[in-house]
Structure 1
Amino acid sequence: MISRRLVLAGLTGVAFNHDFQQVAQAASNASEPLNAVDYGLQPGSTQDQTAKFNALLESASAKGNQVFLPAGSYIVSAILCPSYVNILGVTGQSRIVYAGTSGFVQANDSKLIQFTGLVFDGNGKELGDKAKGLIEANNVRTLLIRDCTIVGSAQNGLSLFQSGGAIDGNRISGVADAAIFAANSADLAITRNTISDCGNGGILVHRYDKGRDGTIISGNRVQKIRADSGGTGQNGNGINIYKADNVIVADNVVSNCAFTAVRGNSAGNIQITGNNCTGSGETAIYSEFAFEGAIIANNIVDGAANGISIVNFDDGGRLGTCTGNIVRNLSVKGPYAGTFGIGISAEADSTITGNLVEGAPTYGLQLGWGPYMRNLVASSNIIRNSGEGIYVTVVDGVGPAIITDNIIQGATKGAIVGHKWEEVAIKDLTQKGSAYPNLVVERNIVS
């Protein structure tokens, strides 16, 4: 006897399996890449292929397909990315070349944009008044740019606004402004990129209003950054964080920047760790203006006008640690008139411990400036071959400082010197009976 229940269950199972197979087949079809050649694009053509390129992206977005771009050059302008774009190329061979009208590549309000193995070549042509970069992403939930080459931009290489994702393993060079400009980011990672030969900046992470950002910048190589637009620090920086809080800048190699290797301006809770900084024209590592919270640790600075600065208490800059850094081979020559040749400087609520400063011709350490000093600890540092070993402000009304357990060798203009601004007020603060009860100066070894 055959059970009616079993028959119905079997028929239901057959129907279910059939439907599942259809869904699985549809998913499989959707996952198959679309070859650009099959949609009329011609590798190496000298004709403008913008219309065909945009039509292909719209079709692929609607179906959820990846696009494969075979090796060759594709001349286009005004590429408008729909909600979903996933383009795969042949690394170094699939070239998207700017035709020179109405901007290059733009994505607005997209859910996912992914570019892999592509070359974006701006040919140095003007992008137009409204464009901000060779590739622009505005309000893109997930932006993934990997193993791409971006060259020849007349403005920024990448210009991002309110976008998240990963910019990883790319090569960006020959741009007139900054390689990467990211404003008001959300969960962005900028990692393992090689950036060189930029007119005004390498990696810029900004916010228009100060607030939490959380971008991670790590493992990048940044070199040959100029300051073509001039200024006293707004340009010429390898990595620049402005008004963006909770940013990590770690393990980057930054060299030959007109101004600063890593500059945090009004950037709170910033971590600058493990970076290798050489050949900076001004201050190699900066935490300046209205910041609260800065960890600067385990960096190497070799060759700069100044080494590390944690300053601008007058604008609210405070609360930092500077630990385990090597700073050496500084110069008194900077990009504008000013005092240079300073190893490490700090002003408020900060500790300077366990650093090695060698070859700072003006001051090894500078503690405070004029009336701006509060709650500083300078301890267990080694300072060799400096002008003055440690500068400390003794202007009336400054806060406390502890200067202990440092080794100071070869300071030609004094080991620990009290200043009123640039004027020397007391030549040797290591002597007992100092007239400055806010200072503790003990157990320093001077030779």
Structure 2
Amino acid sequence: NHVRDCGDNGILVWRSDAGEDGTIVTSNRIERIAAKSGGDGQNGNGVNVFRAGSVMVSGNRIADCAFSAIRSNSGSNCQMIGNSCARLGEVALYAEFAFEGAVIANNIVDKAATGITVTNFNDGGRLAVVQGNLVRNLFFRKDPDSRGNGISIEADTVVSGNVIENAPGFGIAIGWVSYLRDVSVTDNLIRNAHIGIGVSTDPSAGTALITDNLITGSKDGAIRAMNGPTPIGPDLAHASAGAYRNLAVYSNIAR
């Protein structure tokens, strides 16, 4: 299908109650999706999944959306695989709120406010694999929710084998204050970010493993401990992370 010039959303997979759905959305061209009814993300998406579990979104070309290319709100076991996404006004690929399980793999994102976000651990959002994606040319929005990050994750998530380039915020943002648990970030390439990897060191934050990443051209450090939005301490690509009880950081290369 060719879905284009829509006022609010392109393809909707919505349920009144959360549950297994199993819809497959594949091989569509979706473009020029507005958000004429407003809101903070319920409109303006190429593919919008709400409360629908086990949805597969693969092999689509999605461009020029006011918010996300693919947005899954409270949809467990959602897969976003092999999509080509460009020029998104907010987060390109988004797993949010009360979900358990997301696989976001082998996608291309070129120009978005943030590439990939797996979030809302406070609402039960957890358990994801983010692997093999190419994310580049991120930007700041003209509102307080500025973003500019390549990949942002919070809980029970593996981030591996991704390439991120040109992020005015973080290449990879791990956790937010206390919302961090069991995250592994390995074997990623990050180029030209403001901060390559930022990781929460809040006293209530859980464990993060950061290893075997190659980070080049970061303006304010390759790997930084974060106190909320503020980087603290030395660049952990060149100094010990021993002062932070929740971090294991080793074998990274920063230039």
Which interval holds the TM-score relative to the shorter structure?
over 0.9
Say yes or no: does 1:252 pair with 2:60. yes
Runs of 4+ aligned structure 1 residues displaced above 6 Å come to: none
Q: CA deviation at 1:432?
A: 2.0
Deviations 1:274-298 (A, max 9, x none): 0000000000000001010000000
**In the alignment, residue 158 of structure 2 is paired with which amino acid?**
T
Paired position in structure 1 for 2:193: 386
Say yes or no: does 1:359 pair with 2:166. yes
* Separation of aligned partners in 2, 1:434 and 1:229: 50
Deviations 1:112-133 (A, max 9, x none): xxxxxxxxxxxxxxxxxxxxxx
List alignment gaps of at least 5 residues for structure 2: none
Of residues 405, 408, 411, the one that matches 2:218 is 411
Instruction: Looking at secondary structure, tell me which structure has more helix per residue.
Output: 1
* Separation of aligned partners in 1, 2:175 and 2:40: 21
Deviations 1:165-222 (A, max 9, x none): xxxxxxxxxxxxxxxxxxxxxxxxxxxx101000000001001000010000000000
DSSP-derived class of the 1:396 partner: coil
Paired position in structure 2 for 1:211: 19
**Larger Cα-atom Rg:** 1
Paired position in structure 1 for 2:236: 429
**In the alignment, residue 277 of structure 1 is paired with which amino acid?**
C
- Indicate the RMSD between aligned Cα atoms, in angstroms: 0.9
* Separation of aligned partners in 1, 2:246 and 2:114: 27
**In the alignment, residue 253 of structure 1 is paired with which amino acid?**
R
* Separation of aligned partners in 2, 1:204 and 1:381: 32
CA contact (8 A) 2:201 2:246 kept: no
Paired position in structure 2 for 1:243: 51
Paired position in structure 2 for 1:326: 134
* Separation of aligned partners in 1, 2:187 and 2:168: 20
- Please give the residue correspondences for 1:103-122 in structure 2 after superposition, counting only pairs within 5 Å: none
**In the alignment, residue 25 of structure 2 is paired with which amino acid?**
I
* Separation of aligned partners in 1, 2:236 and 2:55: 38
- Please give the residue correspondences for 1:12-411 in structure 2 after superposition, counting only pairs within 5 Å: 193-334=1-142, 336-411=143-218
DSSP-derived class of the 1:361 partner: strand
* Separation of aligned partners in 2, 1:432 and 1:225: 47
DSSP-derived class of the 2:193 partner: coil
* Separation of aligned partners in 2, 1:231 and 1:203: 17
* Separation of aligned partners in 1, 2:45 and 2:145: 18
Q: CA deviation at 1:337?
A: 2.1
Deviations 1:14-40 (A, max 9, x none): xxxxxxxxxxxxxxxxxxxxxxxxxxx
* Separation of aligned partners in 2, 1:200 and 1:305: 19
Say yes or no: does 1:420 pair with 2:213. no
* Separation of aligned partners in 1, 2:33 and 2:65: 5
CA contact (8 A) 1:394 1:425 kept: no
DSSP-derived class of the 1:386 partner: strand
Distance 1:306 1:371, change over 3 A: same
* Separation of aligned partners in 1, 2:107 and 2:145: 24
Deviations 1:268-326 (A, max 9, x none): 00010000000000000000010100000000000001100001100000000000000
* Separation of aligned partners in 1, 2:213 and 2:113: 23
CA contact (8 A) 1:223 1:256 kept: yes
Q: What is the identity percentage for the equivalent residue pairs of Structure 1 and Structure 2?
A: 49
Calculate the TM-score normalised by the size of structure 2.
Answer: 0.98
Higher relative contact order (CA closer than 8 Å, sequence separation 6+): 2
CA contact (8 A) 2:88 2:111 kept: yes
* Separation of aligned partners in 1, 2:217 and 2:172: 14
* Separation of aligned partners in 1, 2:50 and 2:114: 20
Instruction: Looking at secondary structure, tell me which structure has more strand per residue.
Output: 2
